[in-house]
Amino acid sequence: MGKLNKTIVTEFILVGLSHHPQAQVAFFAILLVIYLLTLLGNSVITVVIWTDSKLHNPMYFFLSNLSFLDICYTSTSAPQALVNCFIKRPTISFINCFSQMCISLYLGVTECFLLAVMAYDRFVAICNPLHYPLIMNGRVCIQLAVGVWASSFFLTVIPALTMPAEFCGPNVINHFTCEVQAVLKLACSDTHLNGIMMFASGVLTLLIPFAFIMVTYIRIGMAVLRIRSAQGRSKAISTCSSHLTVVSIFYGTAMVMYVRPQTKSVSEQDKLFSVFYGVVTPMLNPLIYSLRNKDVKGALKRHFKITSCSRVSERENKISEKSGNTKHSDSHRKQ
């Protein structure tokens, strides 16, 4: 009888907010604005950092990694969630669901580690400024970046390999996307091992990096308090507090989802938490880390100035070419 109750699942139904049509319309509008702002902000930051030589230093190297990561992270789930708002019975194949789940999990883990590395970079720059160029040289930055992306891959592969192969009907995922916790709730087999693996991964990728970030910012705060200039001290405190706000939103909502006893069903609150760490923080990252920065603002001004000047020169060249051609034709007629 146990075998008869098990079904071979070829696709899943994504519920989302289909039971709340009015909320779904508002969700579509808000998600669309957030997604477009995320793409615009992170794309601008990535292009400006890589094209402006004055921003080729460790801090902006990691910021460009974060911006590229956020574009990929939101793009794994937001477009599908937007499209599903207009579909009465949104479905996703088993292979696509598994791929989306693994990719989003991998990118989420990468962001956890990358934020910790960025906090370490700021810690060295503020607390040990004389040795900063030596400690955070180009080779070390590349090694840290490669280590973050590679270690995140291995930490994602292990839970993915232990995923159950059989799922019980009905094949309905009460979520916007194939979020790993929501998919595990449909498994027929015992998911005790999966729960242990997810908890251990949550400790490694969420609790430890978050604790490390808090310790580094406490050390940074102690160094900032020793700054004699009141203006410089208030500016540093404002920057650190904004960074900690974004970090707390990302890690806090993710820890609520992954470092806690799992329930048998997905609540509406769980969906809201996933929106915060999967969509909202990628939108806030370029605003908090980059667009408030003087160097980035200066690079944007230089970039737009060069672009506008090149357009003006192109127009002038076209006008001069036209006038030259007119003069040449007039002299040819006189002859």
pLDDT digits (tens, 9 = 90+) for 147-187: 999 999 988 887 777 676 567 667 888 888 888 888 877 77
Q: How far apart are CA 217 and CA 223, in angstroms?
A: 10
Residue 237 one-letter amino acid: I
Question: What pTM, to 2 d.p., does this model score?
Answer: 0.83
Q: Residue 253: which of 110, 108, 122 has the closest Cα?
A: 108
Tokens of residue 218, six digits: 């406490």
Q: How far apart are CA 273 and CA 250, in angstroms?
A: 9
Half-sphere exposure of 178 (CA within 13 A, CB side): 21
The residues that bridge with 13 in the sheet, in sequence order, are: 91, 172
DSSP label at 130? G
Q: How far apart are CA 216 and CA 219, in angstroms?
A: 5
Half-sphere exposure of 299 (CA within 13 A, CB side): 21
Is-contact 155 198, C-beta < 8 A? no
Is-contact 164 187, C-beta < 8 A? yes
Calculate the CA 91 to chain-centre distance. Answer: 25
Structural domains of the chain, ranges and CATH numbers in brackets:
11-295 (1.20.1070.10)
Q: Which helix (H) or strand (E) holds 131?
A: none
In degrees, to the nearest 5, what angle opens at C-alpha 257 toward C-alphas 287 and 39?
A: 30
The residues that bridge with 14 in the sheet, in sequence order, are: 173
Q: How far apart are CA 87 and CA 84, in angstroms?
A: 5
For 277-335, how does the pLDDT look when each residue is reduced to its tens digit (9 = 90+)?
Answer: 889 999 988 888 776 677 777 877 877 776 655 554 566 566 566 565 555 555 555 55
Q: How far apart are CA 7 and CA 124, in angstroms?
A: 55
- Mean pLDDT per 10-residue interval, the chain, length 335 residues: 53 78 85 94 90 87 93 92 85 87 92 94 88 92 95 84 67 84 76 77 90 92 80 71 84 86 71 86 84 75 66 58 57 55
Query: Rounded to 10 degrees, what is the CA torsion of 247, 104, 260, 154?
Result: -100
- Give, in order, the Cα–Cα distances in Å from 288 to each of 62, 284, 291: 14, 6, 7
